[in-house]
C-alpha cells in the first residue's frame, strides 16, 4: 500500500545519486562520520581491560549448594547469567519455552565449562555447578502452573528466582489466555510464576528474587482501562508498560515479603546485543552500519548480565529489597514507578487476571 515511491532507506545504492549530488554527499558524510565514531569508541573500549566484570563476588564456590531458576536462559542475558552462576557453583534450572533449543544451549554451556576447568590455572578448584532444563512457556498460564507443580514436587529448595525472559516490541499478538503478548509474558506470566513459587522461596530463606526490567519503563504508563491494549496498540509503548509493571510488581512484592528473609530487587541491564530485537526491522542498506554501531556501543550479553549475577549472588546486597539497580549500583526511579497506590491496584488486578483470585 502507498504512493508507489520507495522510501529512501529502500533505494538501491545506484539510485542514491539520482536523489541529487548534495543528498549523496551528505549521506556519505553521515555514514563515514558514524563509522568513524563507532571505530573510535571501539578503540577506546578495547584499549581498556577487556570485558568489564561488574559482579560483587567471584569466589568459585560462592553459590555452591544453591538452586537458581532462570527464565529464558537459553540465549542472551539468561544464558550468560546461567553460565556465570554455574561457574560459581550453583545448580541452575533453565526454564525455557523451546526445550530443544534449551537442551542445545545447555549442552554448549557444559562443554564450555569443561574447557574452562581443563584450561584454568587451578583446574577443579571450587567445582562448577549443574544445569537442568525444564519447559516453561510464560505465554501460557497452563504451562506456568504445570511447571510450578513439577518444581514443588521435585525441588526441595529454591534459593534464587531470576525473572529474565521477555518479548520486545512484537506485532500485536495474544497469549494462549488472551492477554496482549508483551504484558502477558513480561508481567503476568512472571507474576503467576513468582506467586506459585513463593512458598518454596520462603522455606528456603534467605532467598532472593531478581526481576529484569528496562530503562524504557520511563516511556510507559499503566492504563487500567486498557491493560490488554484492545482499544489501541503501540508496540514500543506496550513494551515500556510491561517493564514499568515489572518495577511496580517488585516494589509491592518487597512490601509483602517484609520479615520473611526473602528479598526482591529489579534491574535494567543497559543496551545489550541479544536476539530480543528480532521483531525490529532494520533496512537492508542500514544493517551493516547498525551491526557495527551495536558492536561498538552495545554491551555484550556477558556485560549485560553482570547486574543480574550481582543481585543473585553478591553478599553486598544481602537483606536489600525493593530497590532498582543498573551496573551493580542502586539507581533512582521516576515517581510513577514508586506510586504505591498504582502498585497495589496492579497487583490486585493481576491476581484476578491470572486466576489467583476469582
Closest by CA to 302, choosing from 50, 68, 64, is 50
Which residues, 6 or more positions from 273, have their beta carbon under 8 angstroms from its beta carbon?
294, 295, 298, 299, 300, 301
Closest by CA to 135, choosing from 105, 102, 108, is 102
Task: Report how far residue 225's alpha carbon sits from residue 8's, in angstroms, rounded to the nearest whole number.
Answer: 39
Q: Please report which residue ranges of 98-234 form alpha helices under DSSP H.
A: 99-119, 141-154, 181-183, 190-203
The single-letter DSSP state of residue 242 is H
**Which is catalytic among the residues 172, 219, 233, 239?**
239
- Beta strands at 324-326 and 329-330: parallel, antiparallel or unpaired: antiparallel
Our answer to whether residue 239 is catalytic in this structure is yes
**Phi first, then psi: what are they for 212, rounded to 5°?**
-95, 115
Radius of gyration of the chain measured on its C-alpha atoms: 22
Closest by CA to 187, choosing from 160, 232, 217, 149, is 217
User: In 3-state terms, what secondary structure has residue 254?
Assistant: helix
Give the Cβ contact number of residue 285 at 10 Å.
Answer: 16
The answer to whether residues 246 and 212 touch, using CB atoms and an 8 Å cutoff, is yes
What b/e sequence results for 39-66 when a residue is b if at least 16 CB atoms lie within 10 Å of its CB, and e otherwise?
eeeeeeeeeeeeeeeebbeeebebbeeb
Active site residues: 239
Amino acid at each position: 500500500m502507498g504512493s508507489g515511491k520507495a522510501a529512501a532507506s529502500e533505494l538501491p545504492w545506484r539510485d542514491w545519486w539520482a536523489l541529487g549530488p548534495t543528498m549523496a554527499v551528505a549521506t556519505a558524510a553521515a555514514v563515514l562520520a558514524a563509522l568513524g565514531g563507532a571505530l573510535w569508541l571501539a578503540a577506546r573500549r578495547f584499549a581498556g581491560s577487556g570485558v568489564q566484570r561488574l559482579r560483587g563476588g567471584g569466589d568459585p564456590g560462592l553459590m555452591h549448594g544453591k538452586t537458581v531458576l532462570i527464565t529464558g536462559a537459553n540465549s542472551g542475558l539468561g544464558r550468560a547469567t546461567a553460565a556465570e552462576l554455574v561457574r560459581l557453583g550453583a545448580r541452575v534450572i533453565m526454564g525455557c519455552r523451546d526445550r530443544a533449543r534449551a537442551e542445545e544451549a545447555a549442552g554448549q554451556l557444559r562443554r564450555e565449562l569443561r574447557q574452562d576447568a581443563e584450561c584454568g590455572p587451578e583446574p577443579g578448584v571450587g567445582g562448577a555447578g549443574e544445569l537442568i532444563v525444564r519447559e516453561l512457556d510464560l505465554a501460557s498460564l497452563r504451562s506456568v502452573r504445570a511447571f510450578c507443580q513439577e518444581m514443588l514436587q521435585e525441588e526441595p529448595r529454591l534459593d534464587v528466582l531470576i525473572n529474565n525472559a521477555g518479548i520486545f516490541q512484537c506485532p500485536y499478538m495474544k497469549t494462549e489466555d488472551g492477554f496482549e503478548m508483551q504484558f502477558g509474558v513480561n508481567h503476568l506470566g512472571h507474576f503467576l510464576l513468582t506467586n506459585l513459587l513463593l512458598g518454596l522461596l520462603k522455606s528456603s530463606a534467605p532467598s532472593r528474587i531478581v526481576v529484569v526490567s528496562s530503562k524504557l519503563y520511563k516511556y510507559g504508563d499503566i492504563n487500567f482501562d486498557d491493560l490488554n491494549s484492545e482499544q489501541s496498540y503501540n508496540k514500543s509503548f506496550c513494551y515500556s508498560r510491561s517493564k514499568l509493571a515489572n518495577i511496580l510488581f517488585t516494589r509491592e512484592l518487597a512490601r509483602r515479603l517484609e520479615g520473611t528473609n526473602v528479598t526482591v530487587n529489579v534491574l535494567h541491564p543497559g543496551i545489550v546485543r541479544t536476539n530480543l530485537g528480532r521483531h525490529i526491522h532494520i533496512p537492508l542498506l542500514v544493517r551493516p552500519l547498525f551491526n557495527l554501531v551495536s558492536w561498538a556501543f552495545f554491551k555484550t550479553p556477558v556485560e549485560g548480565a553482570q547486574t543480574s549475577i550481582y543481585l543473585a549472588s553478591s553478599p553486598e546486597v544481602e537483606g536489600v529489597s525493593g530497590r532498582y539497580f543498573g551496573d551493580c549500583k542502586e539507581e533512582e526511579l521516576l515517581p510513577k514507578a514508586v506510586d504505591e497506590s498504582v502498585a497495589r491496584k496492579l497487583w490486585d488486578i493481576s491476581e484476578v487476571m491470572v486466576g489467583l483470585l476469582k
